[in-house]
Amino acid sequence: MSPMPPPKPSTEGPRDRQVLHEMGQIVRALQANGPTPPDRLREVVGGQWWEEGRFERALALAASDGLVHTTGDGSVVAT
């Protein structure tokens, strides 16, 4: 019996607790404020103070999980 092959490397990297928290902040802000342009959303959640790239990553993961989506005018809305 041959050993199991190693898991395929993930393209997104491991999710840490921090990114789950950040995704939650984004969803709650959208639920409270309605559709919000990404630049404004960054301000609302304080994303400009997060480590570089974290806001974009959290927003992308929230979208890939179906928690948020982008409207026709480019705003982000909670689903």
What are the pLDDT tens digits along the chain (79 aa)? 556 666 555 555 667 899 999 999 999 999 999 999 999 999 999 999 999 999 999 999 999 999 999 999 999 999 9
Buried b (16+ CB within 10 A) or exposed e, 36-45: bebeebbebb
Record the pTM.
0.81
DSSP string, the chain: -PPPPPPPPPSS-PPPHHHHHHHHHHHHHHHHH-SB-HHHHHHHHTGGGSSTTHHHHHHHHHHHTTSEEE-TTS-EEE-
The fold for domain 17-78 equals Arc Repressor Mutant, subunit A (1.10.10)
The confidence score (pLDDT) of residue 16 equals 85
